[in-house]
A and B are shown apart, each in its own frame.
Chain A
Amino acid sequence: MTHQFRFRRGIVTAALLCLFPATVFAQNNGGPRMDHENTLPPTPTGPTPRTADGHPDLTGLWNGLADNLLGVPNQMHNVGIEVGTDTTRDIHSGIQVATWPLQNRARQNNEQNERAATLLRRMGSNRPIYKPQYWQRVKDFDANSNEEDPSNNCMPAGVPRMGVPSYIAQTPTYLIFIYPGQGGLIATATSYRMIPTDGRKHTNLEDLDGTWNGEAIGHWEGDTMVVDTIGFNSTSWFDQLGGYFHSENMHVIERLHRDGNTLTWTATIEDPDVLLEPWTTTPRVALLNPDPKAILLESLPCSERDFAHVVTKEHH
């Protein structure tokens, strides 16, 4: 066995190991198992609780699908493609994708599984439109993301890449969002946000030091919580896939809407420095953890990658 082959197998093994925390996480918290036969969004059930001030109560542990850890699409959920048992749909375009229902089929090795999963995660039609002078940069970042992706160096995922918060606590004047970190090949640190909803205004952008999560302020538009964030650094990428870099002038508008035991999240990214037009993520639907006693467990520590030993550009 050659060294290269051993390293490749090691990388694939590491990639698989990175999936385990999500599975363990879900099972430890009473969430559903990960052996889904489809990636259709959950159907809302139950009433939408409201707080004393009449707004929907977003409080809860939103990891019922066990795949919204820092927005990382470890599995197939929330990647813009709805895979049913016999039909598949690109959510953004509505295009139906050819589907062959599950049948007895030959076993696949880990590499085959990972490569197929990667293709599926990346096949969606909803892509930000950068100014043409940045197309090649996005492609280069994407192709070399094993080295270029800031999250592979234990940096925070940042907003909006973190996606749906795994836990929300709601008070009359602020929200707390918690995003557990994870170890494994896709390694990110635990992050939190404290988001005022008391009607305050943003600090002047010029007076803000750019950060990973920026300055967030929330307000209600009907039953939808709108979180408006500015003041970013330019280090993070704004989505898990694609090498989607941004400037310090990025402006993110997140929308969270609770319907029973589901929470739908979208983010609109405005960045006239690099984008040709604003881009809105495909809606992601999180499921309330059905276990009322569920808690967030301690995250695994982030460990940096030994890039000198990475011999392939395969990545998620």
Chain B
Amino acid sequence: MLSRARITKLLAIGAMGIVALAGLAFRAQGQQRNDSKPSVAAKTIPAKAAESATDPNTSEVAKTLKAAAEAVGLARWSGVGGQKLPEVDVVNTMELWASGTTYGLGQPSKPGEPLTALNTEVHVALGYNPPAMRLEMTCTNPGAPAQGGAAPIHTIQVVRENYAWDESEIGAGLVPGKGTATPTMAAVNNRLLRLWILPYGVIKAALAAGDKTKLSTENGATVLTFPLSKPFADVMVKATLDAQNMVARVETRTDNPKLGGMLTETEYSDYADHGEIATDIKSPGHIVHKQNGHPVLDIHVKMWDANNPYLVFPVPENVKKAAAQ
């Protein structure tokens, strides 16, 4: 039977996988502030990249990014009321619910046995302006009852710009008597990275990378390669598009010891408008995440609200104080 500590560790690993959901974001530069004010670099890079995407003589990279942005429903225009406005990136906040399996990494619980699979419920709230994510996971060991029983492990991990904390309940630590918020500042980068490996984050980050984004073809598929911006400057992203220009696979590589020097792979499939309110934004219905070649997460989306829902990520005072120390 898995110990609670081991399950907690697996949860953390799985959360990293949930990455899948997360997105990269060109606004990583703005993470040093808590007032959602961006850095100068963040203000200028994406627009430039987008501009070049529409120039008749534009690069194939820009054309590919525009096609990917339109395919997923991120780049949108509206002629409502006779407007003649340009296409813009309309993705800010999203919320999704999914269920599936988190797999243990490394050694199985007993020699010769397969890696332990935990039933996993996932609830993610995220935003790109400011970059933030609240990841709520509940993991249950289906074999636990026969082995003496084990309570589900429930975690809520939050990050906003340069703050990270765990919540005992959603919104904990903001008002007296409503849960506790535990600062986890060392987890900022890991958690933010989750935001930028989602399909939308990949596109935003590739736009932000500007001339550093490279285009190639592998086995007939279009591949975009680019570095993330600070604080992930040493993280390289490789995104493979499918025939519909959807982000189908994302790899990140880093030698940064803070990120475990790991290789992550995330596969996205079954794209559709998974929201209760139709938005024409396509989101993946199946997400598989691997770390260093091992599957750590395999989830199916139940609902994905892309209608820029009301999601906020205020930073508790004790977290701000911890960050200032």
Q: Which one, A93, A98, A125, contacts B89 given CB within 8 A?
A: A98
Q: Which of B137-145, B219-227, B238-246, B305-313 contacts A (4 or more CB under 8 A)?
A: B305-313
Which of A93, A113, A114 gathers the greatest number of chain B CB atoms within 10 Å? A93
- 5 smallest A-B Cβ distances: which pairs? A132-B171, A35-B82, A122-B308, A119-B90, A116-B78
**Considering only CB atoms, which chain B residue lies closest to A141 in the complex?**
B310
B69 part of interface (Cβ distance < 8 Å): yes
Which residues of B from 67 to 81 have beta carbons under 8 Å from A?
69, 75-81
B78 and A120: CB pair below 8 A?
A: yes
* 16 cross-chain CB contacts under 8 A: A35-B84, A75-B80, A75-B83, A86-B47, A93-B130, A96-B47, A114-B78, A117-B83, A118-B279, A119-B279, A120-B76, A120-B90, A125-B130, A135-B170, A276-B174, A276-B175
Q: Which of B38-46, B99-107, B229-237 contacts A (4 or more CB under 8 A)?
A: B38-46
Closest chain B CB from A146 CB (angstroms): 10
A243 part of interface (Cβ distance < 8 Å): yes
* Bound CA–CA A196/B43 (angstroms): 43
Residues in A whose Cβ lies below 8 Å from that of B92 = 122-125
* Bound CA–CA A101/B62 (angstroms): 13
* Bound CA–CA A132/B49 (angstroms): 37
Given contacts A75-B80, A100-B88, 4 further A-B contacts (CB under 8 A): A94-B38, A99-B50, A135-B171, A143-B305
Residues in B whose Cβ lies below 8 Å from that of A116 = 76-78, 80, 90, 280
Which residues of B from 236 to 290 have beta carbons under 8 Å from A?
276-281
* Bound CA–CA A119/B89 (angstroms): 10
A293 part of interface (Cβ distance < 8 Å): no
Closest chain A CB from B92 CB (angstroms): 4
* Bound CA–CA A312/B278 (angstroms): 8
B278 and A314: CB pair below 8 A?
A: yes
Residues in A whose Cβ lies below 8 Å from that of B76 = 116, 119-120
Residues in B whose Cβ lies below 8 Å from that of A142 = 309-310
B47 and A76: CB pair below 8 A?
A: no
* Bound CA–CA A89/B276 (angstroms): 28
Which of B42, B83, B129 gathers the greatest number of chain A CB atoms within 10 Å? B83
Bitwise, A62-106 to B at CB < 8 A (1) or not (0) is 000000000000111000010111111110111111111111010
Q: How large is the interface on B (under 10, 10 to 19, 20 to 34, 35 or more residues)?
A: 35 or more
Q: Which one, A36, A111, A313, A314, contacts B83 given CB within 8 A?
A: A36
Residues in B whose Cβ lies below 8 Å from that of A276 = 174-175, 314
Residues in A whose Cβ lies below 8 Å from that of B77 = 102, 105, 108, 116
Closest chain A CB from B171 CB (angstroms): 2
* Bound CA–CA A46/B206 (angstroms): 44
Closest chain A CB from B302 CB (angstroms): 15
* Bound CA–CA A136/B81 (angstroms): 32
Instruction: Using known A-B contacts A76-B85, A86-B86, A100-B87, determine if residue A113 contacts B80 with beta carbons closer than 8 Å.
Output: yes
Residues in B whose Cβ lies below 8 Å from that of A139 = 309-311
Residues in A whose Cβ lies below 8 Å from that of B78 = 76, 108, 113-114, 116-117, 120
Instruction: Using known A-B contacts A19-B80, A36-B84, A119-B308, determine if residue A100 contacts B280 with beta carbons closer than 8 Å.
Output: no
Task: Report which B residues bind A (CB closer than 8 A).
Answer: 27, 30, 36-38, 42-47, 49-51, 53-54, 66, 69, 75-92, 129-130, 170-172, 174-175, 178, 204, 207, 276-281, 305, 307-312, 314
* Bound CA–CA A81/B54 (angstroms): 21
Residues in A whose Cβ lies below 8 Å from that of B87 = 99-100, 102, 105
Residues in B whose Cβ lies below 8 Å from that of A81 = 88
* Bound CA–CA A313/B305 (angstroms): 12
B82 and A98: CB pair below 8 A?
A: no
A50 part of interface (Cβ distance < 8 Å): no
* Bound CA–CA A113/B27 (angstroms): 28
* Bound CA–CA A117/B53 (angstroms): 22
A101 and B51: CB pair below 8 A?
A: yes
B85 and A133: CB pair below 8 A?
A: no
Which residues of A from 105 to 156 have beta carbons under 8 Å from B?
105, 108, 111-120, 122-125, 127, 129-133, 135, 138-139, 142-143
* Bound CA–CA A22/B82 (angstroms): 12
Closest chain A CB from B160 CB (angstroms): 12
B75 and A100: CB pair below 8 A?
A: yes
Q: Which one, A96, A114, A120, contacts B43 given CB within 8 A?
A: A96
Q: Which one, B51, B81, B310, contacts A99 given CB within 8 A?
A: B51
A122 and B307: CB pair below 8 A?
A: yes
B85 and A98: CB pair below 8 A?
A: no
A23 part of interface (Cβ distance < 8 Å): yes
B88 and A97: CB pair below 8 A?
A: yes
A39 part of interface (Cβ distance < 8 Å): yes
B314 and A115: CB pair below 8 A?
A: no
Residues in A whose Cβ lies below 8 Å from that of B79 = 108, 113
A131 and B86: CB pair below 8 A?
A: no
